[in-house]
Amino acid sequence: MEARFQLDYPGFSLAVDLRLPEKGVTALFGPSGSGKTTLLRCIAGLERAPRGFLAVAGEVWQDEDKKHFLPTHQRPLGLVFQEASLFPHLSVRRNLEYGMKRAGHAGGEEFDAMLRLLGIGALLERDPGSLSGGERQRVAIARALLTHPRLLLMDEPLAALDLKRKQEILPYLERLHDELSIPVLYVSHAPDEAARLADHLVLIDNGRAVACGPLMETLARLDLAHAFGEDMGVVLETVVAGHEADDLTRLEFPGGKLYISRCDKPLGSRMRCRVRASDVSLALAAHGDSSILNLLSATVIAATPLSTPGHVQVQLRLHGDGAPLLLARVTERSRLALDIAPGRSVVAQIKAVALLG
């Protein structure tokens, strides 16, 4: 997908030039007011940028140089907003049938598959007003997908939900990540959501795309520490290797193993594990007399000062074939005491209770 937009408002302007994957989830991430939703609205055709170009799967939806602009209703896309916006006078079934009717499809196996994918089969005869926030959003996602979109746009779909409802819906969003063959643009200012769902990350700040690339690589960039602040960290792709008798789960990945609080995922399943830089400490050797369970051998790649006085961000390469990068946040005093510098071998220490699955 290719998207170029220049849009000016009093006190704010959007200026982006992006080339995004045609499959998988791309997270548009950034603080409130950075321009994420404005960019999404331009892609949806809800805002018309005077200088704009948009092509999806080789089809041009907007080219202002040629005075070409497809209005929203002519764009084969699905939209999911913070509020589900279901028709209150229609049952769940009839809301879904509306989506199919709009696309000119009758349903059948596809309809049943969508019910299974999003776990909404038992809700069909209920009214939207009787559903929880998470249930309404799952129905809204199903309705959007039953229109057969070539692009799915999701504007902070979990923002209006409390923590319990977010945890309820996230596994279903992970299923979408694994099974959809169309690109998904997912707007969020929550690092945990982006880390759990995205393959690709676009960091938006003050109307500009300041970073764009694969999620794992982009999160590990030292020059983006200011943008992520206390949430700076990486995501590790792991496999559930064991459930221990003491309520811990063992994860394995290129670079070692990690113990986390017990999860309910089956053995052999893939699992993303988010590791904040502030939860990683460094040592020159492994110590057996510590409560910290996760000890990973690594080599220092770089160390740069942070905006917080006396704090340093350290980029590490874990040992092993295909091992990923890791970030650690330490004090300048600790850096000097351990002589942390490029090429230095260290042990990264991570508390099991700090890890986020």
pTM as predicted: 0.89
CATH number of the domain that residue 203 is part of: 3.40.50.300
* Pair (327, 196) in one structural domain: no
Backbone angles phi, psi at 105, to 5 degrees: -120, 155
* Pair (84, 224) in one structural domain: yes
Alpha carbon 331 to its chain centroid, in Å, reads 29
* Pair (13, 52) in one structural domain: yes
Blockwise average pLDDT, block size 10, the chain, 357 residues: 95 95 93 92 95 95 96 93 88 89 70 89 93 91 90 91 85 85 91 89 94 93 85 93 94 94 92 93 88 94 93 95 94 96 96 77
> Which of 175, 201, 228 is where one domain is finished?
228
> Which of 207, 228, 249 is where one domain is finished?
228
* Pair (159, 101) in one structural domain: yes
82 is in which domain, residue-wise?
Answer: 2-228
* Pair (265, 302) in one structural domain: yes
3-state secondary structure of 105: coil
* Pair (54, 111) in one structural domain: yes
- Residue 193's pLDDT is what? 87
* Pair (220, 256) in one structural domain: no
* Pair (206, 281) in one structural domain: no
> What is the torsional sign of CA 26, 31, 35, 40?
positive
CA-closest candidate to residue 92, choices 114, 132, 121: 121
- Residue 111's pLDDT is what? 87
Count structural domains, the chain.
2
* Pair (196, 303) in one structural domain: no
- Residue 107's pLDDT is what? 60
Contact 118, 149 (CB under 8 A): no
- Residue 281's pLDDT is what? 95
